[in-house]
Amino acid sequence: MTITAITSPAPIKVLIPRLPEAAALLPYLQRIDANRTYSNYGPLNREFVARLSALTGAKGVTLTSNGTTAIELALRSRATPGKRNCLMPSYTFIASAHAVCNAGLTPYLLEVCPDTLALTPEIAEAALAALPEKPAAVLVVSAFGAPPDLPAWAAFEAHHGIPVVFDAAAAVTALSDVGKQPACVSLHATKVLGIGEGGAILTSDTELAERTTAMTGFGFLGAERLATIRGGNYRISEYAAAVGLAALDALPARLQALRDLTDAYSQRLEGKAVRLQRGVGDEWVTMTLNVFVPEADVTGTLERLDAAGIEWRRWWGLGCHRHPAFADVPRADLSGTDKLAARVIGLPFHDNLTDADLDRIAACLN
Ligand SMILES: *Cc1c(COP(=O)(O)O)cnc(C)c1O
């Protein structure tokens, strides 16, 4: 028994997040002590907004309590009134479906492109023919941080008159030229720019940003304490903004580390049948690195990972339609998603991994 304990290597975790440490937060916390403003769009919130705007190029930035509420508010402000359905991919994190329902809409689940894992305008257009009426909106999801095709979806909106909102939860560092279609990002601890809990709506439409910002603070638009729009309390505190500012200070080093780790994986996967998402590590980064495993080898691969003590995860499960809470929502044929989702496997990806760990993981992959 002792021998097993000594020889079996330590288990490898799939994700170990890292947020700014106490020393990096201290100067920002001391500013809060001096300001005695703790929430309500205080100076650290305003500086975080300005720096997110500079990072993404989006003129309009609304901070929100999390990524899910960012999507909810963006849909509430953009969906066509009186219409019910929101087109969205079934293959996404379940938060997307919750946000659609919380915005008062009904998810209408669609397939994704098996190559990019993203909804395409062609898939959405094919669905339009099957619907009794025009949908209220389309929610397009960035697959694990890959940049969504912003121009193609802007053209879709212009052509069909159906408002587009992006769930770009993991893509905050992959966005450029954000148009008026809002890109909703998450600042959760497991995302590239993590603050614990938080989110943001990014858009070139500064009037829209003004409205969604008002929605985060009881609908007060302008200086008067008069609710002009229906909203709620979706704000972040000055303490959360402090973490955000410290996380932005550390972002360049983090991006380089994520690129280097992706590169270390892709070297080890050369010549194998498994493959990474296109462009990952070169054009964009992720905190949730996935491999596409050939269908016939999924069971074998997962057994080898389990036997080697390597944690893996289907980050998005098997699609929203497989969750009991959404089992009854309308959908197109999802047989492609059923096949695809089973094959997308998240591998360990964090800054505790050694070269030996990476070798051990790669040895389980064919
Ligand atoms: C993380 C994530 C969300 C939810 O963001 P929270 O900040 O956790 O609410 C929504 N959609 C996708 C695709 C995500 O990856």
Instruction: Provide the pLDDT for residue 108.
Output: 98
pLDDT in tens, 132-141: 999 999 999 9
Instruction: Provide the pLDDT for residue 9.
Output: 85
pLDDT in tens, 46-75: 999 999 999 999 999 999 999 999 999 999
Cα(159)–Cα(334) distance, rounded to whole angstroms? Answer: 26
192 alpha carbon to ligand 1 midpoint, in Å?
12
Q: In this model, does residue 123 exceed pLDDT 70?
A: yes
Question: Which atom of ligand 1 lies nearest, measured to the CA of 199?
Answer: 7
CB 54 within 8 A of CB 82: no
186 alpha carbon to ligand 1 midpoint, in Å?
6
Is the CB of 144 within 6 Å of ligand 1? no
Instruction: Provide the pLDDT for residue 8.
Output: 77
- Mean pLDDT over residues 274-290, rounded? 98
Q: Are residues 189 and 302 in the same domain?
A: no
- Number of independent structural domains in the chain: 2
Q: With CA atoms as reference, report the closest residue to 148 among 183, 102, 190.
A: 183
Q: Are residues 135 and 80 in the same domain?
A: yes
Q: Judge whether 355 lies within some domain.
A: yes
User: Could you tell me the pTM of the whole model?
Assistant: 0.97
Q: What range defines the domain where residue 104 resides?
A: 22-249
Q: Are residues 267 and 237 in the same domain?
A: no
Q: In this model, does residue 249 exceed pLDDT 60?
A: yes
Q: Whose CA is nearest to atom 14 of ligand 1?
A: 169
Q: Are residues 259 and 243 in the same domain?
A: no
363 alpha carbon to ligand 1 midpoint, in Å?
31
DSSP letters spanning 214-256: HHHBTTB-SSSS-B-S---B----HHHHHHHHHHHHHHHHHHH
169 alpha carbon to ligand 1 midpoint, in Å?
5
Q: Label residue 224 by pLDDT band (50, 70, 90).
A: confident
Q: 3 or 302: whose pLDDT is higher?
A: 302
* Phi and psi angles of residue 50, each rounded to the nearest 5 degrees, phi first: -65, -40
Of 199, 214, 249, which residue sits at a domain end? 249
Q: In this model, does residue 31 exceed pLDDT 90?
A: yes
For position 88, which CATH number holds?
A: 3.40.640.10
Is the CB of 186 within 6 Å of ligand 1? yes
- Quick one: what percent of the chain has pLDDT higher than 90? 96
Q: In this model, does residue 5 exceed pLDDT 90?
A: no
pLDDT in tens, 321-359: 999 999 999 999 999 999 999 999 999 999 999 999 999
What secondary structure letter does DSSP report for 295?
Answer: G
Instruction: Provide the pLDDT for residue 295.
Output: 98
Q: In this model, does residue 4 exceed pLDDT 70?
A: no
